[in-house]
Amino acid sequence: MEVYLDNAATTPMRKEVFEEMEKYFFQDYGNASSLHLFGQKAFEEKENAREKIAKLLGVKSKEIYFTSGGTESDNLALKGIIQKSNKKKVIVSAIEHPAVLRTAEFLAKQGKKLSVIPVNSEGIIDLNKLKKEIDSDTALVSVMHANNEIGVIQPVKEIAELCMEKNVLFHSDTVQTIGKIKINLKETGIDLASISAHKFNGPKGIGAIYIKEGTPIEPLIHGGGQENKLRSGTENIPGIIGLSKALELSLKNIEEEQKRQEELRNELIKFVLEIPKTRINGTYEKGKRLSNNVNASFYGIEGEALIAFLNEEGVFASTGSACSSKSLKASHVLLALGLSHIWAHGSLRLTFGRQTTKKEINYVKEKLPGIVEKLRKMSSIK
């Protein structure tokens, strides 16, 4: 059996999405900037897609800009805003994705000011600290909507209100929520939001950013002036079509799908907690966590070893443990929750998708306890 439970990393593309994209490779392959019929067709399809996406997110077409994905959108938001502003400070949460954290650190190195706001043990940002940190020199606050490791959802509406009061811009990395939760961006009050298609069964290498009308921002990529001069480069039409189709499909029966995954998640969380010396990382209070995320830690075992044994059994998961990735530091997210290094190293992230079945979760339940026991037997930490 092969069970893919790493949908926070990426998702399989839907057949319907591919079918929708196909003709833009072979037939309608025009450059949207060309003046002839082929170009016009491409231009129209691109604008139709933009309109569809905008509608689905409750915003205006001209507030959506296509990019190469979440990372670029995050970079554009932070660098683009700070460059255009006469204020110097950027505020981010401690659990941001590297696409935001590293960008913010880069800006700090360039002479800007950076403030990092902690989260509590449940993974929720400290709003009081945030409030205190926003001063007259603050240009931008960037707090992600849902975290990619623990799936905890931040109170973005309250953050947006706070930012509005203090007259600072608010960017939210919504890469893990758009396509998974129904969101009306206008109503949330976010000024900039990052979108990535491959997280909701769309193609890789395409994304978008919502930028509220009138927000002063400098481009990241200069050139031919595409995307209303904000993002140059020949538009990725098949990708754009794929993004809009994937978003449309994923929002179609989203409540039902969310409920289905939530049931699976709660069941798995309950099961995992029955294994001794185990914890769930981040709150799982209703409504405060993505319905597709389980992040557990097993005391005394190391994440990479756990992943490797699961891999042998055909279960594909991920870990926040340092020893598994290219860096050796334990997950900054788990450490921010206050976990000790031992707990942080023993983490396992299982993230579901539309294709995930109850049978697959049962298979995981069958395999997981034995692997944990085997590794604990070997371990020097009891």
**Which positions are annotated as active-site residues?**
323
Which of the choices ligand PLP, other proteins, ligand FES, none does residue 124 contact, using the CB cut-off of 5 to 8 A by kind?
Answer: none
∠ CA 179-184-189, nearest 5°, is 125
Contact assessment for residue 154 and residue 93, using Cβ atoms and an 8 Å cutoff: yes
Nearest to other proteins of 307, 361 (CB atom): 307
Written in H, E and C, the secondary structure of the chain is CCEECECCCCCCCCHHHHHHHHHHHHCCCCCCCCCCHHHHHHHHHHHHHHHHHHHHHCCCHHHEEEECCHHHHHHHHHHHHHHHCCCCEEEEECCCCHHHHHHHHHHHHCCCEEEEECECCCCCECHHHHHHHCCCCEEEEECCCECCCCCEECCHHHHHHHHHHHCCEEEEECCCCECCECCCHHHHCCCEEEEEHHHHCCCCCCEEEEECCCCCCCCCECCCCCCCCCECCCCCHHHHHHHHHHHHHHHHCHHHHHHHHHHHHHHHHHHHHCCCCEEECCCCCCCCECCCEEEEEECCCCHHHHHHHHHHCCEECECCCHHHCCCCCCCHHHHHCCCCHHHHHCEEEEECCCCCCHHHHHHHHHHHHHHHHHHHHHCCCC
Which of the choices ligand FES, other proteins, ligand PLP, none does residue 35 contact, using the CB cut-off of 5 to 8 A by kind?
Answer: none
Which of the choices ligand FES, ligand PLP, other proteins, none does residue 148 contact, using the CB cut-off of 5 to 8 A by kind?
Answer: ligand PLP
Exactly one of 17, 21, 101, 344 binds other proteins (CB under 8 A); which one? 344
Distance separating alpha carbons of residues 185 and 200, to the nearest angstrom: 17
Q: Which listed range, 83-91, 171-179, 247-255, 264-272, lies at the site for ligand PLP (CB under 6 A)?
A: 171-179
Q: Which listed range, 80-88, 91-99, 202-210, 326-334, lies at the site for other proteins (CB under 8 A)?
A: 326-334
Q: In what order do the strands lie in the sheet with 278-280?
A: 278-280, 293-298, 347-351
Nearest to ligand PLP of 11, 138 (CB atom): 11
Count residues binding ligand PLP (CB under 6 A): 13
Residues 117-136 binding ligand PLP (CB under 6 A) are: none
Count residues binding ligand FES (CB under 6 A): 2
Nearest to ligand FES of 114, 308 (CB atom): 308
**Quick check: 97 binds ligand PLP (CB under 6 A)?**
yes
Which of the choices other proteins, ligand FES, ligand PLP, none does residue 127 contact, using the CB cut-off of 5 to 8 A by kind?
Answer: none
Q: Which listed range, 13-21, 168-176, 180-188, 219-227, lies at the site for ligand PLP (CB under 6 A)?
A: 168-176
Torsion sign across C-alpha atoms 115, 124, 269, 70: negative
Distance separating alpha carbons of residues 39 and 36, to the nearest angstrom: 5
Exactly one of 323, 363, 369, 374 binds ligand FES (CB under 6 A); which one? 323
Question: x/- string (CB under 8 A) for other proteins, residues 259-298?
Answer: ----------------------------------------
Which of the choices ligand FES, other proteins, ligand PLP, none does residue 207 contact, using the CB cut-off of 5 to 8 A by kind?
Answer: ligand PLP
Residues 177-236 binding ligand PLP (CB under 6 A) are: 196, 207
Residues 328-357 binding ligand FES (CB under 6 A) are: 328
Contact assessment for residue 154 and residue 145, using Cβ atoms and an 8 Å cutoff: yes
Q: Which listed range, 66-74, 176-184, 192-200, 315-323, lies at the site for other proteins (CB under 8 A)?
A: 315-323
Nearest to ligand PLP of 119, 372 (CB atom): 119
Q: Which listed range, 25-33, 86-94, 249-257, 303-311, lies at the site for other proteins (CB under 8 A)?
A: 303-311
Which of the choices other proteins, ligand FES, ligand PLP, none does residue 69 contact, using the CB cut-off of 5 to 8 A by kind?
Answer: ligand PLP
What does the binding site for ligand PLP look like in residue numbers (CB under 6 A)? 69-71, 74, 97, 99, 144, 148, 173, 175-176, 196, 207
What does the binding site for other proteins look like in residue numbers (CB under 8 A)? 300-302, 304-305, 308-309, 312, 321-324, 326, 328-330, 341-342, 344-345, 377-381
What does the binding site for ligand FES look like in residue numbers (CB under 6 A)? 323, 328
